[in-house]
Amino acid sequence: MATFVLVPGGWHGSWAFEAVTPLLERAGHTVHALTLTGLRPDDDDATVAAANLDTHADDVLRLFDRAHITSATLVGHSYGGMVITAAADRAGGRVSRLVHLDAYVPRDGESCWSSTTERYREAFAAGAATTGYAVRPPDGVDPRCRPHPLTSFVQAIRLTGALAPAPRREFIYCSGWEDRTPFAELRSRLHADPGWQVHDVPTGHDALHEAPEAVAALLLGECGAEASTRRQRACR
């Protein structure tokens, strides 16, 4: 049985995986869904202001130590892709599989800020205008969303290369918001990389709630034969 560690995207907490977690657990797997530092309901302003990408990678590594995890499937949604990349690079071989769910896949020296589109950089800046350190949630999102530490969006990732020989790597592309997605070029890059498997799901960015069964099926490997090639069709 696998051990899944689920890392949410910006503004979200562990509740983002509420529809997917029981599907994985029902299949007999162990699931840990995280709420990152600065996004917890009881975090004070100083904690939010100080939290960065390194802080969030350390959140994952502390879970590994606390739960004695030695072989994890790390799943990151959106900004969570930054976190799982940083954590896997520092995990000392304790990651067997990386799944970027409509998520950033940074190279050394890149940040969420540098990897996204101008539209989202403008939104980050506008969202942080009130405090200077926390980006308010976008309009219309789940009311449980919390202001996100700005520094974690702008900090560049530093990779040692330790991740290079490690895990199975997959990218799940949500194709239902083509007019706004910042991941179209990334999908093309990874699709051409033999080290990656690329899957498409016909949803908006929040596939976790729009199509939890399809997401769980991909995480559980239920796209079997189709997953053996990089030219994936949607697992419906």
What pLDDT, on the 0 to 100 scale, is given for residue 162? 78
* Per-residue pLDDT at 236: 41
In this model, does residue 10 exceed pLDDT 50?
yes
* Confidence grade of residue 44 (pLDDT, cut at 50, 70, 90): very high
pLDDT of 231 over the 50 cut? no
pLDDT at position 132 is 98
219 with 97: CB under 8 angstroms? no
Other C-beta atoms lying within 10 Å of the C-beta of residue 155: 20
| pLDDT confidence of residue 230 | 35
Q: Picking from 144-158, 188-202, 220-234, which range would have the lowest pLDDT averaged per residue?
A: 220-234
Domain-by-domain residue ranges, the chain?
3-228
Please spell the DSSP secondary structure of 151-207, one letter per residue: HHHHPPP---STTTTS-EEEEEEEGGGTTT-S-HHHHHHHHT-TTEEEEEESS-S-H
Lowest mean pLDDT among 66-70, 124-128, 143-147, 218-222: 218-222
Q: What is the pTM of this model?
A: 0.93
Contacts of 236 (CB under 8 A, 6+ apart): 202, 214
CATH of 3-228, one of 3.40.50.1370, 3.20.19.10, 3.40.50.11740, 3.40.50.1820: 3.40.50.1820
* Confidence band of 6 (pLDDT split at 50, 70, 90): very high
Whether 229 has a pLDDT exceeding 50, the answer reads no
Q: Are 92 and 165 in contact (CB under 8 A)?
A: no
Question: What's the confidence (pLDDT) of residue 166?
Answer: 56
| Residue 221 · residue 227 · CB < 8 Å | yes
| 3-class SS shares of the chain: helix, strand, coil, % to 5 | 35, 15, 45
Give Rg (Cα) of the chain. 17
Q: Quick check: 227 pLDDT over 60?
A: no
Name the one residue in this structure whose structure tokens are 């995207």. 9
If you average pLDDT over residues 207-220, what whole number do you get?
98
Q: Which residue has the higher pLDDT, 45 or 236?
A: 45
Q: What percent of the chain has pLDDT over 70?
A: 92
Q: pLDDT digit string (tens) for 115-174?
A: 999 999 999 999 999 999 999 999 999 999 999 999 999 999 999 987 665 579 999 999
Question: What is the overall mean pLDDT for the chain?
Answer: 93
Q: How far is CA 63 from CA 6, 127, 157, 167, 208, in A?
A: 11, 30, 20, 19, 22
